[in-house]
Structure 1
Amino acid sequence: MANPLGKIFYVIFLIASLQGLAQELSSGEVNILKKFENTSDISEKFSFFFGTPNRYGENSAYDWLDTVNDYLNNASQSGDSAAIQKFQLIQSQIYFDLGDYEKSVALANELYADKAKLDGGLTEVMLNLIDENYAQLELYEKQIEIRQEKRDLGITENIAFYDIYSNLGMHRRAMRDYIMDVKKNIDDSDLYGLAEYHNNVGRYLLLDKSASVALKNFKTAKGYVDVYLNDLSKVKTEKEIQEANLLKGIVEGNIGKAHILLRQYEEALPYLENSVGIIQEYNIGRYSNDVVENNLAIAESHLQLENFAKAKEYLDTDLTLIKTDHIIKKNKLLASYYDNVEDYRNAVYYLKKNAKIADSIDTNDTSLKTQQLATIARFDLDNSRRMIDEQKLEMERARSEMQAKDERINLVFISLIFTLLGFAGLVYAYLKSIKNQRLIAEQKHIIENSLVEKDSLLKEIHHRVKNNLQMVSSLLSLQTKNTRSKAAIEALEEGKTRVKAMALIHQKLYQNDDLSVIEMQGYIESLINSVQSVFKKGGHNINVTIDAEGVELDIDRAIPFGLILNELVSNSFKYAFPEDDDNGKIYIHLRKNGEHGFFEYTDNGIGLPDDSEERVNSSMGIRLMNRLVNQLQSTLNIDKTSEGVRFWFNFK
């Protein structure tokens, strides 16, 4: 029989050996932060940082920040500008990962101010980082400007607006644009791309409260990403695996939220809990809105299932709440919890906190979103114009190529005829020329049909732009009904008339045979009728005289003219005739001789007060008109007359 004491010593020896082996293996694994520090070249450090998917697995983002700060200080002391730029971009990315978007964008904007000194690779990283920060900070106008610059630099081919439309509440519009832009470019073999596509479509539907349809898209996305992860035939990088698992976690969270919207709380819980676990595993050290939303959704499900202790456990989870929506939702859930456990004092406390937040979100927030929506619509319009111009150039290029091809065919054909044939060849050439003329006639017919089709397409684009602007006008009308502030209502109404003025331009264009110019007499009459329908009251009879017969302007000039007239006529209707004077008169004069033109607007109303010059110059209407006149390369002149006021300027 074996010695028991020997067995004990043998087991102890085996355990010690295994521990030593484990230490050797662990010592062989290089810490990611240490590997970053051991990389000597700054460009390699930069590539290593942005190319490492789970860089915060062993060291927190704050450890990285301390290390990068030391490198940045050393680079500043040595005056190494290239190193400063790279370390500052890394610093900005770390702050973004921590959810400190204001600090992140501030650092990136320091580099943006000196962007001429950046190389192409750094410029792309910087612009993408600024774009993502502006999206989180809801600064959509600035985000569009950055995207324009990315397009101009060739970083992106086109500007996408669907994510911004969704952030402003237009989820259906965002989904429609997203499907049109993205679906045609996804290959059937791109499983990850298909998963991402169906998840985004489902998210737009979920935000639009179409939970059942959204759920189908989320489950389709989950199927694609599961197949992608289980496909062993395709070699994947560590970054691709991390991104796919992270997408899977986000999709499962979206499935859970769709079940909640359908009041299926028990079905929602396993998806939400699994989602939080996956995202935390594959998004270590980074701030995640999905984790916050899914934790709050789990708490909501437990509340609905009357698992109050479990709900309180999730509500007590230490979550960094950055977005106001998340703070409001957590307060609402806490109020519901305390109400259910009959702790009414705490319930009232959290309801009051939400009331204070609601009070701080005043009509200025609504006005800002309306202004952002109008700005984005303008950028969208500019983008549509650019596409129209590109299509025109493509048509001209195709036409030139066809003409050149016809010329080459004719030259070769004629040279062969005169080289190989004599008199009989002349007869043959005559017969061939007849056949060639028929071919040319057919090609001419094809070209003419193509041009008609392109004209129809241009008209359709103008029609769609007009419809888009009408939709903006409708949104402003809806906002007016939901706004109590008189000042806000007036601002929204003014915005609506400006949008209508631009929409009328595009309506006139697609109604005209000539898409390049607008006949101004008819346009001004339509604009007056549109403004009059908004501001005209009973007994308010103003005689409007328009002298613009025969004047035609292109769209780049017509839109500023339309907006200037909208401001002038609106001001006359609102302020010039306070006593509904039946003798009220407005005179509009527009002339163009060759390259020079003249515009004049007068009314015989009460005119401008003597002390109004400073107020007039500071008013939005005058500032807007001055900018519009500047676009026409001119200066707005204002004359006080004995019977009202006169506005005039020359233009080219």
Structure 2
Amino acid sequence: MKKHFILRLMCTLIFSVYTCLGFAQDDVETQNEDYYEQFQDLENGELRSFFFFNTPNRYNQNSPYDWLDTVKVYLNSSEKTKDSISIRNYQLIESQIYYDLGNYERSLAIARPLYDNILKLDVESKQTILSILDNNYAMLELYDKQIEIRRVKRELGLTDNVAFYDIYASLGQYRKAMRDYMVEEKKVLKDDDYYGQAIYNNTIGNYLRLDKSTSTALSYFKKAEGLITVFLSDVTNQHSDKEIADGRILNGLIIGNIGKSHVQLGEYEKAIPFLEESREIIKKYNKSKFSSDIIENTLALAECYLKLDDYAKATDYLSDDLNPIKSANILKRNRIYADYYFKTGDFKNSTVYLKKNIRIRDSIDALESNIKNQQLTSVVAQDLENSRKTMEHQKAQLEESRKDIKARDDKISLVFVSLIFTLIGFAGLVYAYLKSIKNQRLIAEQKFIIENSLVEKDSLLKEIHHRVKNNLQMVSSLLSLQTKNTRSKAAIAALEEGKSRVKAMALIHQKLYQNDDLSVIEMQGYIESLINSIQSVYKKGGHSINITIDAEGVELDIDRAIPFGLILNELVSNSFKYAFPNDDSDGKIYIHLRKIAGQEGFFEYTDNGIGLPEDSDERASSSMGIRLMSRLANQLQTSLKTDKTQDGVRFWFNFK
């Protein structure tokens, strides 16, 4: 499973090289979209609210302040007409904009009155208000309020479970947070959900990084980076603009976490490119929004350059319009300034910043311990409340079990009475039992005979496949002898093609008698062996071509494996002969085969050669190879499809 995942990951990364130009074009189109104008063109507050909350990177053309001014105009107009629905929608938008700007108190001031009347609102408005309040309380570290919001979510039926792992992490309980997170998320995470898997690994890595287990955290971040790359380059699944934007922001956060891990390990030069790339990605796809991650990455960059004695770069980042809100970031900025002035000999300013930190720490020490204890007590109390409810549910189930047991006891009493009458037939049962033992012995003897027959049958089948393979090899050898005694180039080419096809069939029988299971063939190994066989025929070509095979775990029976092998033999042979006439050093062949039990299979073959000639459709009627592949595809109850719209050539088909 792990090998298959790594192979698929590598293939997707290779394919992403071909799709990066398309993504770049999408980025340009997204950046040029005037969401602000589209927002204004909508008719009412309900449509504008839906558009606003479902538009990623909405501040690409206009700043949040422009949006805020416009929303206030709409809000005033709605208040004059007493349009209560539009008033609520514009207030929600206004609250979210203040949150995006980092003005959490103002955002709360708008959202809280709406929350007081939440029972009168529709489900979508309830979810939006509770999400805004949850996020604001988290940023303001008001975790008891955040717990209240999550409890309301559950009571309103908007969520089945209430989790507190993020709050535990904010209170410094990283190991507890990580354990709870793994229990809650792992059970609902799907193997093919690359975005969810990336979030999971990034979150676990972040908890480990904050807990100073940096080396282990790095392994999780790198796995998360690979998963989000697969998600962004997966063209087989259609993703919405919001999903893609969220994926790219997550990619920026993961890269930033890798950089911060290298800083913790003292690897400053290695950390710098990760941190700079993370800043650029978050700024691009989270445009004009306040971001603590950008501040953390910027401070980390300043620290790196300061450690490397590049004072100019360090001061550039320190003066990069930083406005930290979290006390940890403020302390870190002051500490870096103090280090900078100390290293440059300005001990007076260094002392000033150290004193600032001392005052901040004194203030924190005076309040933080008591507040954190209160917050932690609230979280634990809510956890205990959840545990109590779980225990009550289990108690109810236990009571039901007791009732079931009592009902079974009553049935047992009836059975006991019946047992008395059953004793009368006991003698007959003993006789039947002794007779059954004799029958079991006979059955065991017959089973032994049948098993020996099956083993003998398997041996005979393997011998048959071995002999068929040897006979096909003899045919191949005869064709080779005929080739040596033939002067006609056309005849030699035809004999070589025939020999290659015979080898493809012989290889099927060889794989069958080598398998424990004689009914199927493991296609990854078969394709690799077939490629090696074809390369031995075309000695002058094919060895410098990069061939990628993605068929791990696919098994086919002989009725499908033989036509499939012959089709693949024709395609690879044609690529070696015609696709790379000049220089095949950059040649690439990609073979993909997927078959899941109970579903349609999919085969794809591509190369980046010179492609098919313009008159390929006319040649198809006269080409033996094309006619042969079409007939073989018919045996698979499908038809071979060709794509000539890109460089090289692509053949593909679905099969049952």
Q: TM-score if structure 2 supplies the norm length? A: 0.57
Query: Is structure 2 residue 263 aligned with structure 1 residue 227?
Result: no
Name the residue aligned to 1:464.
none
Pairing of 1:256-405 with structure 2 (within 5 A): 256-397=259-400
Looking at structure 1, the residues matched to 63 and 150 of structure 2 have their Cα atoms a distance apart, in angstroms, of 31
For residues 453-505 of structure 1, the C-alpha deviation after alignment (integer angstroms, 9 at most, x for no partner) is xxxxxxxxxxxxxxxxxxxxxxxxxxxxxxxxxxxxxxxxxxxxxxxxxxxxx
In the TM superposition, residue 330 of structure 1 has moved relative to its aligned partner by: 0.8
How far residue 41 of structure 1 moved from its aligned partner, in angstroms, is 3.2
Asked if residue 68 in structure 1 is aligned to residue 47 in structure 2, the reply is: no
Amino acid at match of 1:219: K
CA gap 1:180/1:30 in 2 versus in 1, 3 angstroms: closer
Query: Counterpart in 2 of 1:601?
Result: none
Code of the residue aligned with 1:127 in structure 2: it is: L
Partner Cα distance (2:75, 2:405) in 1: 59
Q: How does 1:397-546 map to 2 (within 5 A)?
A: 397=400
Partner letter of residue 299 of structure 1?
A
Distance in 2, Cα, partners of 1:218 & 1:151: 32
Aligned to 2:248: 245
Matched-pair contact (CA < 8 Å) for 2:305–2:313: yes
In structure 1, the residue matched to 2:11 is: none
Change (3 A) 1:112 1:429: farther
CA drift of 1:363 comes to 2.1
- Among 145, 165, 168, the residue aligned to 1:165: 168
Instruction: Report the CA distance between 1:335 and its aligned residue.
Output: 1.2
**SS across alignment from 2:57:** coil
Note closer, same or farther for the CA distance 1:429–1:406 as it changes in structure 2 (3 Å cut): farther
Counterpart Cα distance in 2 of 1:199 and 1:244: 12
Specify which structure has the bigger relative contact order, considering alpha-carbon pairs within 8 angstroms and separated by 6 or more residues.
2
Task: Give the match for residue 140 of structure 1.
Answer: 143
Q: State the Cα RMSD in Å.
A: 2.9
Looking at structure 2, the residues matched to 102 and 181 of structure 1 have their Cα atoms a distance apart, in angstroms, of 31
Q: How far apart, CA to CA, are the structure 1 residues paired with 2:271 and 2:130?
A: 38
Q: Following TM superposition, by how much is the alpha carbon of 1:310 offset from its aligned partner in structure 2, in angstroms? A: 1.0
- Matching of residue 186 in structure 1 with residue 161 in structure 2: no
* CA distance in structure 1 between the partners assigned to 2:367 and 2:122 by the alignment: 40
SS in 1 for 2:162: coil
Would you say the 8 A contact 2:95–2:110 is kept in 1? Answer: yes
Quick one: which amino acid aligns to residue 99 of structure 2? F
1:85 aligns with 2:96: no
SS at match of 2:187: helix
Of residues 106, 111, 122, the one that matches 2:109 is 106
- 2:211 is matched with 208
Alignment partners' CA distance in 2, 1:268 and 1:93:
33
Letter in 2 for 1:138: E
TM-score when normalising by structure 1: 0.57
- Aligned partner of 1:121 among 117, 120, 124: 124
Note closer, same or farther for the CA distance 1:410–1:212 as it changes in structure 2 (3 Å cut): same
Tell me by how many angstroms 1:364 deviates. 2.4
Worse overlay, 393-402 or 148-157: 393-402
What is the letter of the counterpart of residue 374 of structure 2? Q
Alignment of 1:512-591 (within 5 A): none
Aligned pair partner of 2:199 in 163, 181, 196: 196
Q: 1:400 to 1:155 in 2, by over 3 A?
A: farther
The letter for the 2-side match of 1:391 is Q
Query: Does the aligned pair in 1 maintain the 2:202–2:220 contact within 8 Å?
Result: yes
Cα distance in 2 between the residues matched to 1:229 and 1:408 = 61
Partner of 1:58: helix, strand, or coil? coil
In structure 2, how many angstroms separate the alpha carbons of the residues matched to 1:325 and 1:145? 25
Secondary structure of 1:259's counterpart equals helix
Q: CA deviation at 1:137?
A: 0.5
Q: Which amino acid aligns with 2:170?
A: N
Alignment pair present for 1:151 and 2:159:
no
Alpha-carbon shift at residue 399 of structure 1 (Å): 6.4
CA gap of 1:231–1:402, structure 2 versus 1, over 3 A, is farther
Distance 1:235 1:408, change over 3 A: farther
Per-residue deviation at 1:171?
A: 0.7
Partner SS state of residue 185, structure 1 = coil
Tell me the alpha carbon deviations over residues 293-347 of structure 1, each in whole angstroms, 9 at most, x when there is no partner. 0000011011111111111111111122111211111111111111111122221
SS of match in other structure, 1:361 = helix
The code of the aligned residue for 2:242 comes to K
CA distance in 1, matches of 2:237, 2:412: 50
Alpha-carbon distance change, 400 to 76 in structure 1, aligned in 2, over 3 angstroms: farther
Give how far 1:80 is off. 1.2
Q: Which position in structure 2 is the counterpart of 1:13?
A: none
Report how far residue 203 of structure 1 moved: 0.6
Aligned AA for 1:48?
Answer: F
In the TM superposition, 1:13-24 aligns within 5 A as: none
Task: Give the C-alpha shift of residue 404 in structure 1.
Answer: 8.6
**Shift in Å at residue 409 of structure 1?**
14
Matches within 5 A, 1:598-609: none
Distance 1:52 1:84 in 2: 20
Q: CA deviation at 1:230?
A: 1.2
Which consecutive residues of structure 1, in runs of 5 or more, have no partner in the other structure? 1-24, 414-425, 436-652
Secondary structure of the 1:222 match is helix
Q: What's the secondary structure of 2:62's corresponding residue? A: coil
Q: Relative to 1, partners in 2 of residues 1:85 and 1:306: Cα closer, same or farther, differing over 3 Å? A: same
The answer to whether the 8 A contact 2:197-2:227 is kept is yes
Deviation at 1:212, TM superposition (A): 0.6
CA distance in 1, matches of 2:211, 2:329: 18
What is aligned with 1:36? 39
Q: Does 1:94 align with 2:106?
A: no
Task: Write the distance in 1 (CA, Å) between the matches of 2:50 and 2:409.
Answer: 53
- In the TM superposition, what is the alpha-carbon distance from 1:392 to its structure 2 partner? 2.5
SS state of the match for residue 318, structure 1?
Answer: coil
Deviations 1:111-143 (A, max 9, x none): 012223212210111011101110110111111
One-letter amino acid of the structure 2 residue matched with residue 130 of structure 1: L
1:59 pairs with 2:62: yes
Aligned residue type for 1:126 = I
Q: Is the 8 A contact 2:44 2:86 kept in 1?
A: no
Structure 1 pair 259–395 and aligned structure 2 pair: CA distance change class (3 A): same
Matched with 1:558 is none
1:463 aligned residue: none
Separation (CA, whole Å) in 1 of partners of 2:179 and 2:345:
46
What's the offset of the Cα at 1:371?
Answer: 1.3
Q: 1:393: how far off?
A: 2.8
Deviation at 1:400, TM superposition (A): 6.2
- What is the CA-CA distance between 1:31 and the residue it aligns to? 2.3
* CA–CA distance in structure 2, aligned partners of residues 165 and 32 of structure 1: 38
Flag structure 2 segments of 5+ consecutive residues without an equivalent.
1-27, 430-656
Contact 2:46 2:85 in 1 (8 A): no
2:133 partner amino acid = I
